[in-house]
């Protein structure tokens, strides 16, 4: 029996008359309820609008006549309950807009309470009328843990192998990576991903990790979190040497051995810095170094005109992040999303409430979610965010130094399949002093346009001209950048 079985049975034992289960895994929810009914030797009825009321413990049991309509089914419940019974109503929520059904529901609840029974509402929607939600206890179906995910993978492979032989050749390390990747997905999705991974070649091996990652990316395509592709190697990220070293020192802290040793998992960092200096790349560096999925929260999409809806969206986004753990949660330009929390706002205190919810979650969450937040404007940051203990460390991404600029040029030229020996990278490095990594990349792109227009090969001179014709932000916004550097000098750890 799983933890879901135990939690559900406790609610039944405590005589909760009405339970609400909002889930897309109806089959799993019914199996949990059926197992509990068998263990308790309780009566077990199931109702649906297509089949009416029937015995839930007997496969293909005949329905009680004329109970397909929800009001008729609830009338039957109110008249027929003689002893403790678990009654499941499937997809009743949409019918509760009918006043007759609501009245029948209230009458049925009198009989359910009197007989110490329980009415369980299973639906994919959660918009219950107030009179129903006030009596219903919410029961959350848990997502499978790593042990159950492993069992699901093995069961699915055995089932397919019985139908048609498949080759299974996977290492323990590969299987563990797949299991971690599947964290946060439901049981149906996990089974389908396993089937998809072997559909083409009839093999299940370490190479299928990539298809697992792609499937998980599709699974989080909706909502407030967006999957972000990270480089496969830290060599694709120029500069940030001290930040990379910090990540390397903590990579072993994510293991079971580290937890047994008493080490807490890293919780997050705040990356301040000059625009284009590599803050976004730093988020990708975390995902690459620790082999975790990277998801970006769209803070702007959280805000809604309806009272309470913005806070609910934030809670849902953080809950989704926890379901996807272990993962890296990236909040880009956090000061824009919660700017009003640092000042007197005209939004009725919404930003402060949202910011308070985020701080509480940062302090209390127990799931392996690593928060990576970036900021450009330190003056807009609420001081509470900078307090020690909110983040493991606060880094500052400055304009790249000589060595970093050299690496950045090589990375972007190699990415565009150019022969590095054909370029004077030392000259380019010297000419790009004061340029950010993003500005260097744009100079390479601009030079490519010029060379393509001239129908010539890209040259060092094209790149030098592109740099010369586009002054960097460190020149156009010198005062602001100097002020930011001065603030960060004794407050932050340099990222490079």
The mean pLDDT of 345-365, rounded to a whole number, is 73
H-helix segments, 222-374: 241-250, 256-261, 279-290, 309-324, 334-337, 350-364
pLDDT tens for 113-122 read 999 999 999 9
d(CA 29, CA 40): 17
* 78 — pLDDT class (breaks 50, 70, 90): very high
Parts of the chain belonging to CATH 1.10.8.60: 146-219, 402-476
- How far from 166 is each of 155, 156, 159, 163, 188, CA to CA, in Å? 13, 12, 10, 9, 21
What DSSP string runs through 60-89? TPPPPTT--SHHHHHHHHHHH--S-EEEEE
Task: Give percent of the chain above pLDDT 70.
Answer: 92
Rg (the chain; Cα; Å): 29
> What does the chain come to in residues?
496
Query: Which tokens go with 197?
Result: 């991974």
* 158 — pLDDT class (breaks 50, 70, 90): very high
Name the CATH architecture for the domain at 146-219: Orthogonal Bundle (1.10)
d(CA 414, CA 444): 11
**Per-residue confidence (pLDDT) for residue 108, from 0 to 100:** 95
- Assign a CATH topology to domain 234-397: Rossmann fold (3.40.50)
Tell whether domain 3-138 is in CATH 3.40.50.300.
yes
Contacts of 481 (CB under 8 A, 6+ apart): 274, 399, 473, 474
Question: Of all residues in the chain, what percent are helix, strand and coil, respectively (each to 5)?
Answer: 55, 15, 30
Given a cut of 70, whether residue 170 has pLDDT beyond it is yes
Pairing of strands 225-228, 294-297: antiparallel
Of 63-72, 219-228, 300-309, 461-470, where does mean pLDDT reach its minimum?
300-309
d(CA 148, CA 168): 19
Query: Which tokens go with 345?
Result: 């706002």
Contacts of 415 (CB under 8 A, 6+ apart): 236
Parts of the chain belonging to CATH 3.40.50.300: 3-138, 234-397
d(CA 251, CA 218): 27
Query: Which tokens go with 290?
Result: 């620790």
The closest of 469, 422, 426, 429 to 445, measured between CA atoms, is: 469
Element (H, E) at 57: none
> Buried (b) or exposed (e) across 248-285, using 16+ Cβ within 10 A?
eebeeebeeeeeeeeeebbbbbbbbbbbbbbbbbbbbb
d(CA 93, CA 20): 10
Given a cut of 60, whether residue 304 has pLDDT beyond it is no
* 295 — pLDDT class (breaks 50, 70, 90): confident
* 223 — pLDDT class (breaks 50, 70, 90): low
Q: What is the pTM of this model?
A: 0.66
* 139 — pLDDT class (breaks 50, 70, 90): very high
d(CA 76, CA 92): 15
> Contact, 327 vs 372, CB < 8 A?
no
Tell whether domain 402-476 is in CATH 1.10.8.60.
yes
> Contact, 126 vs 22, CB < 8 A?
yes
Four-point Cα dihedral 257, 259, 261, 266, nearest 10: 110
pLDDT tens for 236-273 read 778 888 888 888 888 777 666 777 888 888 888 999 88
**Per-residue confidence (pLDDT) for residue 218, from 0 to 100:** 65
pLDDT tens for 79-93 read 988 889 999 999 999
Four-point Cα dihedral 286, 290, 294, 297, nearest 10: -60
**Which residue shows structure tokens 């949202």?**
354
**Per-residue confidence (pLDDT) for residue 340, from 0 to 100:** 53
Cis peptide before 326 (omega within 30 of 0): yes
- Count of Cβ atoms closer than 10 Å to residue 47 Cβ: 26
């Amino acid at each position: 029996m799983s933890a879901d079985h135990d939690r559900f049975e406790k609610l039944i034992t405590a005589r909760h008359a009405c339970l609400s289960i909002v889930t897309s895994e109806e089959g799993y929810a019914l199996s949990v309820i059926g197992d509990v009914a068998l263990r308790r030797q309780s009566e077990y009825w199931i109702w649906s609008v297509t089949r009416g009321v029937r015995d839930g413990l007997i496969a293909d049991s005949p329905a009680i006549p004329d109970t397909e309509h929800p009001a008729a089914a609830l009338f039957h419940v109110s008249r027929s309950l003689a002893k403790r019974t678990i009654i499941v109503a499937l997809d009743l929520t949409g019918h509760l807009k009918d006043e007759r059904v609501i009245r029948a529901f209230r009458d049925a609840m009198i009989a359910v309470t009197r007989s110490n029974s329980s009415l369980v509402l299973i639906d994919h929607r959660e918009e219950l009328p107030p009179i129903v939600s006030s009596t219903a206890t919410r029961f959350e179906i848990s997502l499978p843990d790593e042990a159950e995910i492993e069992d699901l993978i093995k069961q699915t492979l055995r089932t397919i192998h019985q139908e048609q032989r498949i080759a299974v050749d996977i290492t323990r390390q590969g299987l563990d990576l797949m299991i971690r990747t599947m964290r946060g997905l439901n049981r149906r999705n996990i089974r389908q991903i396993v089937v998809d991974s072997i559909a083409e070649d009839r093999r299940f091996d370490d190479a299928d990790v990539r298809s697992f990652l792609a499937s998980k990316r599709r699974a989080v395509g909706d909502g407030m979190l967006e999957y972000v592709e990270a480089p496969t190697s830290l060599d694709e990220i120029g500069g940030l040497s001290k930040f990379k070293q910090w990540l390397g020192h903590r990579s072993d802290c994510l293991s079971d051995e580290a937890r047994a040793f008493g080490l807490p998992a890293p919780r997050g960092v705040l990356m301040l810095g000059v625009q284009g200096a590599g803050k976004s790349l730093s988020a990708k560096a975390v995902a690459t170094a620790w082999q975790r999925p990277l998801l970006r929260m769209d803070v702007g999409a959280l805000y809604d005109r309806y009272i309470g809806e913005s806070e609910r969206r934030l809670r849902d986004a953080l809950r989704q992040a926890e379901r996807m753990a272990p993962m890296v949660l990236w909040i880009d330009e956090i000061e824009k999303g919660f700017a009003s929390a640092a000042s007197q706002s005209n939004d009725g205190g919404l930003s402060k409430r949202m910011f308070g919810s985020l701080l509480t979650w940062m302090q209390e969450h127990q799931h392996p979610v690593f928060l990576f937040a970036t900021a450009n404007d330190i003056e807009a940051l609420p001081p509470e965010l900078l307090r020690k203990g909110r983040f493991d460390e606060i880094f500052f991404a400055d304009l790249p130094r000589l060595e970093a600029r050299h690496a950045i040029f090589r990375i972007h030229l190699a990415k565009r399949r150019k022969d590095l020996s054909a370029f004077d990278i030392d000259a380019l490095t010297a000419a790009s002093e004061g340029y950010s990594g993003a500005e260097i990349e744009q100079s390479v792109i601009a030079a490519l346009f010029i060379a393509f227009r001239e129908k010539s090969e890209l040259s060092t001179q094209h790149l030098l001209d592109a740099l010369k014709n586009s002054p960097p932000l460190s020149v156009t916004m010198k005062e602001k950048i100097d002020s930011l550097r001065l603030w960060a000098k004794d407050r932050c750890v340099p990222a490079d």
